[in-house]
């Protein structure tokens, strides 16, 4: 009994000391989290792979990476699965602590995932959208009401871990079947609800097949503002966490919505979930409209560096252990995902407490930074010290 007690005290002392220094004890399967600096995550399309120098950069800068299915030329003979596996191995060879997620949508196929698509059983649900007078747009959806499709999906999730060297999956489109979401308009409310129920079964089965120490992170998790309801919270009990993907993406969100999204992130993280907070530069609407796409990359990056303070400060207001900040203006490797920002190198240190809210302003103190956010005016300040 004395030996067990002594070992327990040693373990408790180690945890206490680790937390005091800003290092949170990692649970099985989770990325290594630290308050020393802003904890960041990378999320981008791997395409047909990166250069050795790019792999060096990713492995040095990030412990938590999601490799998405694209972009991949339509006539490419490769497959996202094999390119992702090659990239995951290259990153983890350079950084054995890195956790790499495999992008795996739960709603519709991506043309890059050729191996998984070839194994799809049965037929897709076909949606036809009117694009213009000459051409319609055809969208394929997984028919998740079929048991063989559910089995196929969870098998592919297991392959991501056991064949393709990843540490889990990033499940995109997880909420497509929720009331009022896309699938309700495509297949009707009743079938959409059945497909939504199937997602829960698929997630549980995928976890069983992948293994208990492998991660399932879903997208999206959103707050609400009284007009738009919350989205995604019901999936948290069957996953390891989520991405908040649209925070102020198009600068059209209300202050109520942003405040509740920050609260949603904080609550989920305090419940032990991993959260990726996707921040966007304020020029994104112009970028999406094509007004900046011809500008040199360095010029766009300088603008992104000027715009980072507001989303980063909002993240820090609600951040808890296992919260990660992700920042770019798109989803490809060239859209800021493989760039670095001076704020990521500044000492941060653990928070001294929760944020203090007054009206629509928030203040929070860290060991080496003071954060201020005004949601109503979309302004923010971070004093590093």
| Packing angle, helices 80-94 and 147-162, rounded to 10 | 30
Query: Would you state the pLDDT for residue 294?
Result: 87
From residue 106, alpha-carbon distances to 147, 175, 206, 218, 301 in Å are 14, 9, 12, 9, 32
Q: Say what the pTM is.
A: 0.91
Query: Would you state the pLDDT for residue 367?
Result: 98
pLDDT under 50: residue ranges of the chain: 1-21, 24-26
From residue 222, alpha-carbon distances to 51, 60, 193, 228 in Å are 35, 31, 19, 10
CA distance 83 to 92: 14
Which residue ranges form the domains of the chain, and what is each CATH number?
33-346 (3.20.20.70)
Which pLDDT tens digit goes with each residue over 63-77? Answer: 999 999 877 777 777
The DSSP string of 274-317 is: EEEEEE--TTHHHHHTTSSTTS-HHHHHHHHHHH-HHHHHHHHH
DSSP structure class, residue 235: G
* Mean pLDDT estimate for the chain: 90
Do 244 and 274 touch, CB atoms closer than 8 A? no
Residues with Cβ within 8 Å of 125's Cβ and at least 6 positions away in sequence, in order, are: 140, 141, 142, 143, 186, 187
CA distance 215 to 233: 17
Query: Would you state the pLDDT for residue 134?
Result: 61
Query: Would you state the pLDDT for residue 12?
Result: 35
């Amino acid at each position: 009994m004395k030996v067990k007690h002594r070992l327990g005290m040693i373990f408790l002392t180690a945890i206490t000391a680790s937390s005091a220094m800003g290092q949170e004890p990692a649970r099985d399967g989770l990325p290594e989290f630290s308050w020393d600096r802003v904890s960041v995550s990378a999320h981008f399309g791997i395409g047909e792979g990166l250069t050795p120098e790019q792999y060096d950069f990713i492995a040095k800068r990030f412990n938590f990476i999601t490799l998405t299915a694209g972009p991949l030329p339509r006539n490419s003979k490769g497959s996202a699965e094999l390119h992702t596996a090659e990239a995951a191995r290259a990153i983890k060879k350079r950084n054995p602590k890195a956790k790499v997620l495999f992008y795996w949508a739960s709603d519709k196929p991506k043309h890059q995932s050729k191996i998984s698509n070839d194994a799809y059983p049965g037929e897709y649900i076909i949606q036809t959208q009117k694009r213009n007078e000459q051409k319609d747009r055809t969208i394929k959806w997984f028919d998740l009401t079929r048991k063989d499709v559910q089995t196929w999906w969870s098998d592919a999730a297991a392959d991501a871990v056991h064949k393709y060297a990843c540490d889990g999956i990033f499940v995109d489109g997880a909420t497509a079947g929720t009331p009022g979401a896309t699938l309700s308009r495509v297949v009707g409310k009743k079938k959409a609800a059945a497909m939504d129920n199937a997602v829960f079964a698929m997630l549980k089965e995928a976890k069983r097949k992948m293994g208990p120490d492998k991660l399932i992170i879903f997208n999206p998790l959103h707050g609400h503002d009284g007009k738009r309801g919350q989205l995604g919270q019901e999936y948290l009990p069957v996953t390891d966490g989520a991405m908040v993907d649209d925070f102020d993406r198009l600068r059209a969100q209300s202050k109520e919505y942003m405040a509740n999204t920050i609260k949603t992130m904080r609550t989920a993280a305090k419940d032990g979930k991993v959260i990726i907070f996707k921040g966007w530069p304020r020029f994104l609407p112009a970028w999406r409209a094509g007004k900046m796409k011809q500008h040199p990359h360095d010029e766009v990056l300088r603008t992104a560096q000027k715009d980072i303070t507001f989303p980063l400060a909002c993240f820090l207001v609600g951040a808890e252990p296992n919260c990660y900040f992700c920042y770019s203006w798109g989803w490809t490797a060239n859209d800021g995902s493989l760039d670095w920002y001076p704020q990521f190198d500044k000492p941060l240190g653990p928070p001294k407490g929760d944020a203090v809210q007054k009206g629509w302003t928030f203040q929070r103190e860290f060991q080496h930074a003071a954060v201020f956010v005004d949601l109503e005016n979309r302004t923010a300040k971070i004093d590093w010290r």
